[in-house]
Amino acid sequence: MQVRRFLSRYWLLFPALAFYGVFLVYPMVFSFIVSLYRWDGLSPSKVFIGLRNYVRFFSDPTSLLVLKNNLTWMAFMLSIPVALGLILAVILNEKVPGRTFFRAAFYSPAVLPLVAVGIIWSWIYNPTFGAINSFFRIIGLPHLARNWLSDPSVALYSVILTGIWQGTGFPMLLFLAGLQTIPRELYEAADIDGATGVQKFFYITIPSLRETFVVVISLLMIGSLKVFDLIYVMTWGGPGNFTQVLSTWMYFNTFVYHKAGFGSAIAWITAATSLGVAYPYIRIMSRR
């Protein structure tokens, strides 16, 4: 009787476990197996090459450029959106005129589809009729106008600027939620002790937002390594792979160049990089 009750409980978990196994565990295992082969993803025959796809990634100059681009993207997304989001949250947490409107305005880019964001900013960057080049021509600085998405020296940073515009609202919202959990008594006690606004910010606000920082930075780390839509829509990885990142490089190798084995290896390198940068940070911050 007890055995039957024990089994009946676990039978209730079977649908969820089956879904998890079919749609998560099996694809992960299969992709790792594929990464050990030279395979175009279509033909029935494939050649086992062991870890050669992984070795090839770290010996290929283009792949190293892709990794550098992704780390550059991450560096910008972990600095500017976090700083801007925190500043906006602190300002909009006060009783300023129109704060409800500004909260919605600053957060609204975060809910827009990334494909739509990419198309809109592609128009803004257009070298002929785009808003940026038109502005430079109007103010008499036509020499500053350029093809922002085709110039290798600025293409990546142009897309990063789009990512910053779209990605600042979410950290702002999380910081705003965190600020509203800080007891007002802490600030009142600091006022009695004669603390300045800067001192209250660094000794009360920042320490009290530690858990929020962990969530924000962890999500931005992982999101930076998964970025795909903006690159694909705005530059398609060009010019000359100067805006390729790990996710787009994986896509092109798997579905465009028909190198499924190498594409699967890139997927696992991306996963390992995500774990490698996020896990130590979470452990360190959780211990404090």
For residue 192, with 0-12 CB atoms within 10 Å meaning exposed, 13-18 middle and 19 or more buried, which class applies? exposed
Contact 269, 57 (CB under 8 A): yes
Give residue 5's pLDDT band: very low, low, confident or very high (50, 70, 90): low
Taking the C-alpha atoms of residue 121 and residue 79, their distance in angstroms, rounded to an integer, is 21
The architecture that CATH gives domain 53-287 is Orthogonal Bundle (1.10)
- Cβ neighbours of residue 189 closer than 8 Å, sequence gap 6 or more: none
Q: Is the pLDDT of residue 127 over 60?
A: yes
The tokens describing 43, both together, are: 């033909």
User: For residues 250 and 266, is the Cβ–Cβ distance under 8 A?
Assistant: yes
**Amino acid at residue number 47:** V
pLDDT at 2: 61
Of the pLDDT bands very low, low, confident and very high (cuts 50, 70, 90), residue 288 is: low
Rounded alpha-carbon distances, angstroms, from residue 133 to 121, 160, 191, 210: 13, 18, 49, 41
Q: Can you give the pLDDT at residue 113?
A: 94
Domain positions in the chain are 53-287
pLDDT of residue 57: 97
pTM: 0.90
User: Per DSSP, what are the bridge partners of residue 48?
Assistant: 37
The total of other beta-carbon atoms located within 10 Å of residue 180's CB is 9
Q: What is the pLDDT of residues 28-81, one digit of tens each?
A: 999 999 999 999 988 888 999 999 999 999 999 999 999 999 999 999 999 999
Counting residues of the chain whose pLDDT is more than 70, the rounded percentage is 95
Fill in the amino acid letter for 112. L
